[in-house]
């Protein structure tokens, strides 16, 4: 019997958080090894575990997988969160891709200067409310179903809920003009596996703090500031 998936990343969100969400949504228990030193990272590099010299890396089913999208594709397919046919998978890919674009604006946020953070916060909220949330509001309104694709719970739903909660951390009432998304958030949050992941004490990571930022910088030898959009 295969062991639990093992995740290699920092003790924080970054690009691994969506993989944690997907495993949790599927009800899959997983283990984590947190990178805290440059030596740990170099050991993975020297051991050949990081194909492209990058994390996230996940050990699953006898594989050492890198590239977050490939990892998520595999998990979503394995646990029936990737639609029932090619057209549904195409829609899921499209929605996940859009959500990824929005999340990308948020992922760099912790690494910005205080001044750039305020600019980026406004930018994130503006893009969410003018481009991304209206698109998902329309999808849900037009088909009148509980989920984004095929009226079945999928990776697209998991990813969108994660993004909604991330944007709400920047502006708590950001969904005030989106009734469909408000109802969607409540529905998806009440799914037992998701509800469990949202409880205190789960493996969901908190908003990145300075300790997380400094650890990432140290391990990856990042000494330059990122720039806001």
pLDDT classification of 1: cutoffs 50, 70, 90: very low
pTM for this entry: 0.93
DSSP for 190-211 reads: TSHHHHHHTSTTSS---S--HH
Provide the pLDDT for residue 140: 97
**pLDDT tens digits for 52-93?**
989 999 999 999 999 999 999 999 999 999 999 999 999 999
Q: Let me know whether 159 and 211 are in one domain.
A: no
Instruction: Report the chain's mean pLDDT, rounded to a whole number.
Output: 94
Residue 203 and residue 184 share a domain: no
Please, are residues 34 and 87 in contact by the beta-carbon 8 Å criterion?
no
Six-digit token string for 123: 């930018």
pLDDT score of 171 more than 60: yes
Do the Cβ atoms of 155 and 95 come closer than 8 Å?
no
Together in a domain, 184 and 202: no
Domain annotation covers residue 226: no
Q: Can you tell me whether residue 60 is helix, strand or coil?
A: strand
Residue 51 lies in a domain: yes
Tell me the pLDDT band of 3, cut-offs 50, 70 and 90. confident
What CATH number is associated with residue 110?
Answer: 1.20.1050.10
Domain limits for position 18: 6-79+198-220
Q: What is the pLDDT of residue 222?
A: 75
**Mean pLDDT, range 123-138, rounded to an integer:** 97
Q: Which CATH number characterizes residue 44's domain?
A: 3.40.30.10
Q: What is the pLDDT of residue 228?
A: 44
Average pLDDT over residues 172-196: 98
The answer on pLDDT for 136 being more than 50 is: yes
Q: What is the mean pLDDT of residues 178-195?
A: 98
| Domain tally, the chain | 2
């Amino acid at each position: 019997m295969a062991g639990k998936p093992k995740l290699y990343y920092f003790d924080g969100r970054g690009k691994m958080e969506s993989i944690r969400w997907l495993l949790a949504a599927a009800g899959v228990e997983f283990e984590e090894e947190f990178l805290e030193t440059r030596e740990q990272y170099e050991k993975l590099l020297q051991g050949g575990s990081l194909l492209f010299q990058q994390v996230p890396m996940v050990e699953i089913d006898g594989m050492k997988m890198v590239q977050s999208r490939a990892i998520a594709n595999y998990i979503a397919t394995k646990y029936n969160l990737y639609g029932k046919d090619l057209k549904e998978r195409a829609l899921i890919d499209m929605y996940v891709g859009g959500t990824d674009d929005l999340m990308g604006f948020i992922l760099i946020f912790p690494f910005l200067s205080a001044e750039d953070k305020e600019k980026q916060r406004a930018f994130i909220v503006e893009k969410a409310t003018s481009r991304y949330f209206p698109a998902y509001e329309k999808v849900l309104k037009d088909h009148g179903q509980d989920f984004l694709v095929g009226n079945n719970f999928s990776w697209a739903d998991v990813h969108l809920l994660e993004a909604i909660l991330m944007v709400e951390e920047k502006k708590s009432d950001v969904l005030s003009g989106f009734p469909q998304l408000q109802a969607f958030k409540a529905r998806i949050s009440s799914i037992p596996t998701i509800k469990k992941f949202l409880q205190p004490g789960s493996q969901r990571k908190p908003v990145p703090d300075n300790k997380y930022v400094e650890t990432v910088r140290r391990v990856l030898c990042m000494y330059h500031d990122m720039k806001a959009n």
